[in-house]
Structure 1
Amino acid sequence: MDQRTELSEFLRSRRARLRPEDVGLSAHGGRRRVPGLRREELSQLAGVSVAYYTRLEQGRGQNVSAAVLDAIAGALRLNRAERDHLNRLARPAARPPRAGAGRPQRVRPAVQQLIDTMDSVPAYVIGRRMDIIAWNRFACALLGDFSTLPAHQCNLAWQIFLEPATRELYVEWENKAADIVALLRLDAGRYPDDPKLAALVGELSVKSPEFRALWAAHNVQDKGFGVKRLQHPLVGALTLSYETLVLPADPEQQLITYHAEPGSPSAESLRLLASWALAEAGGAGPSVPAPHPRA
């Protein structure tokens, strides 16, 4: 993915979402041909020249300083994830070194053992480009059997946009889809030269108009915590909290867990689902077939 194009489109999209009144400017001053702030207004707010900001927005900024980017980020009212994304796009030489995008993704055996022992907690691990690289049996019972998927489909973004059963699982599918694309955008900033990420984005863009529209919005965010409502084919409605834990030994890997409020109907439904998953496995212990390493 071309860094200059990504930077240009990101800045334009952030500028377009702001109205003059949002930043204390008069909404008057002539008819606006496009939504959002004008370059002149954004430059004024950031304290940089119009010519300088224009070059930056056109992807022609050279050696832009952290201070200037911070001023522009403040004027655009960027959140933390957006600020980090802007810095990666505008100052690629200043990015901390990362392992190559082609490095195989593997979870440590101890991590797989840990999630295997979590009989009452659905848990899985995602790596770069949202590949699902490890899971426990309960996660398969809740979200679908990852162990049966071809490698390129064992990906959270692919599942959300191209797997009908996954679309039906999430009650607020539109919100989930927007979150997934915003997370994938972060990876695009971290790994602009990842051919598998480019191939994934290309496939989703061709096959899903919803993905195309969301990708064009250039929204970015980090995965954190929250609540999801699911409609499970076996146990029905579920309201579950999720937590995202970054693995310190490999910050590119994130452990996601789901749980229900104790004593709630969802907690009882999860208990039933866990019993079903154990019965399906023949009570033979917590392990599910481990995923093959994926690049």
Structure 2
Amino acid sequence: MDREARRQALSVFLKAKRAKILPESVGLASGTRRRTPGLRREEVAQLAGISTTWYTWLEQGRDIRMSTSVLDCIANALQLTIDERKYLYALALESGSAANLGKEEPPEISPSLQKILQELRFCPTIISDRRYDIVGWNDAAANVFLDFGTIPFEQRNMIRLLFTRKELQRLAVNWEHFVRGFLAIFRAYYGQYAEDHWYDQFLEEMKAIHPDFDDLWQQSEVKSAPEVLIQFRHAKAGKMQFHLTSLQVQGSSDLRCSIYTPDPHSPTESKLKKLMGDNAG
């Protein structure tokens, strides 16, 4: 991401967060003459204790200097979460990792991590890298999602697959909610590795591939590790419910372990066992 792209990403993010704050939630009158939802620029500036002109320039993507203390005030005014603050600082202070590495080989899965994948027999588990390329999975994941082994590595990106594979679009009961969770994590990576031009190229490609991608991306959600209950409607097993736990794998490779644990209050695990038994046979 070059400086211009970084400023534009910051502009989109600030506008999206400003639009989501109700005036009454910060002690301002909602009024009847608001043309757009959320706060006005001058109201954010007032809450942050900075000039309206300076904040307007920042939101317009102009090349201006800023300090951490001012960004702290803006983050407080926009009620940003910890993950959103990290994203703001990475873009505004150009503090993302210098990782413009071009084409990469798939990171190797360590024997210990491979053992974990095998032991989580009835918990669909996927290992992905910082670009959301899928580098490891277990049999349960192959049965619930799809057989990732049949997909070439250069196409085995979770974001890409969610928008291009019909079986994944049919799988989630609420596909948009499901996708927004992945995009929120992807945006956190986008801010962390702001110097890697691969992200900008990938985003442009996805916008061209799927008409709904840009609208969902512009919502600018940022989360590093959401824990959610996800409902699937599997073609063979029917309704299934999983608790998603997303973990960072410590080590030289920036890997993420996404574990889908069957909801204990549902028959999901027994359905999964039957599904895997049928497929094994």
TM-score by shorter chain over 0.5 = yes
* 2-structure distance, mates of 1:258, 1:27: 42
1:259 deviates by 1.9
Pick the aligned partner of 1:270 from 265, 269, 272: 272
Kept in 2, the 8 Å contact 1:126–1:255? The answer is yes
Pick the aligned partner of 1:134 from 133, 136, 144: 136
* 2-structure distance, mates of 1:115, 1:125: 9
Say which SS state the counterpart of residue 45 (structure 2) adopts: helix
* 2-structure distance, mates of 1:268, 1:250: 37
Aligned to 2:227: 225
* 1-structure distance, mates of 2:18, 2:213: 22
The alpha-carbon distance between structure 1 residues 151 and 195, as it changes in their structure 2 partners (threshold 3 A), is farther
1:214 deviates by 0.9
Pick the aligned partner of 1:254 from 230, 244, 256: 256
Kept in 2, the 8 Å contact 1:101–1:191? The answer is no
* 2-structure distance, mates of 1:210, 1:35: 22
1:18 deviates by 2.2
Kept in 1, the 8 Å contact 2:109–2:136? The answer is no
Pick the aligned partner of 1:199 from 196, 201, 212: 201
Aligned pairs (5 A) from 1:155-174:
155-174=157-176
Which amino acid counterpart does residue 12 of structure 2 have in structure 1? E
Aligned pairs (5 A) from 1:7-18:
7-18=10-21
Say which SS state the counterpart of residue 128 (structure 1) adopts: coil
The alpha-carbon distance between structure 1 residues 34 and 158, as it changes in their structure 2 partners (threshold 3 A), is same
* 1-structure distance, mates of 2:21, 2:266: 41
Aligned to 2:89: 87
Say which SS state the counterpart of residue 209 (structure 1) adopts: coil
The alpha-carbon distance between structure 1 residues 48 and 106, as it changes in their structure 2 partners (threshold 3 A), is same
Which amino acid counterpart does residue 50 of structure 1 have in structure 2? T
Greater CA deviation, 59-68 or 46-55?
59-68
Say which SS state the counterpart of residue 131 (structure 2) adopts: helix
Count of residues in Structure 1 that have an aligned counterpart in Structure 2: 276
Kept in 2, the 8 Å contact 1:119–1:274? The answer is no
1:147 deviates by 0.5
Aligned pairs (5 A) from 1:271-290:
271-277=273-279, 279-280=280-281
Q: Residues 229-269 of structure 1, C-alpha deviation per residue, up to 9 Å, x if partnerless?
A: 11122222111112111101147211111222447411211
Kept in 2, the 8 Å contact 1:228–1:241? The answer is yes
Q: With structure 1 as the length reference, what TM-score do the two structures score? A: 0.85
Unaligned runs of 5+ in 1: 281-295
Greater CA deviation, 108-117 or 141-150?
108-117
1:99 deviates by 4.8
* 2-structure distance, mates of 1:250, 1:224: 23
The alpha-carbon distance between structure 1 residues 38 and 264, as it changes in their structure 2 partners (threshold 3 A), is closer
2:105 equivalent to 1:104:
yes
The alpha-carbon distance between structure 1 residues 248 and 98, as it changes in their structure 2 partners (threshold 3 A), is farther
Kept in 2, the 8 Å contact 1:181–1:211? The answer is no
Aligned pairs (5 A) from 1:11-90:
11-28=14-31, 31-60=33-62, 62-90=64-92
Which amino acid counterpart does residue 109 of structure 2 have in structure 1? R
Unaligned runs of 5+ in 2: none
1:60 deviates by 3.2
Question: What is the Cα-based RMSD across aligned positions, in Å?
Answer: 2.2
Kept in 1, the 8 Å contact 2:128–2:257? The answer is yes
Q: Residues 66-96 of structure 1, C-alpha deviation per residue, up to 9 Å, x if partnerless?
A: 221111111111112211111111011x44x
The alpha-carbon distance between structure 1 residues 205 and 37, as it changes in their structure 2 partners (threshold 3 A), is same
2:242 equivalent to 1:244:
no
Greater CA deviation, 256-265 or 170-179?
256-265
1:63 deviates by 4.0
1:105 deviates by 3.9
Q: With structure 2 as the length reference, what TM-score do the two structures score? A: 0.89
* 1-structure distance, mates of 2:204, 2:154: 13
Say which SS state the counterpart of residue 222 (structure 2) adopts: coil
1:7 deviates by 1.0
Which amino acid counterpart does residue 261 of structure 2 have in structure 1? H
Q: Residues 148-189 of structure 1, C-alpha deviation per residue, up to 9 Å, x if partnerless?
A: 012233111111111101111111112112222222222222
The alpha-carbon distance between structure 1 residues 50 and 242, as it changes in their structure 2 partners (threshold 3 A), is same
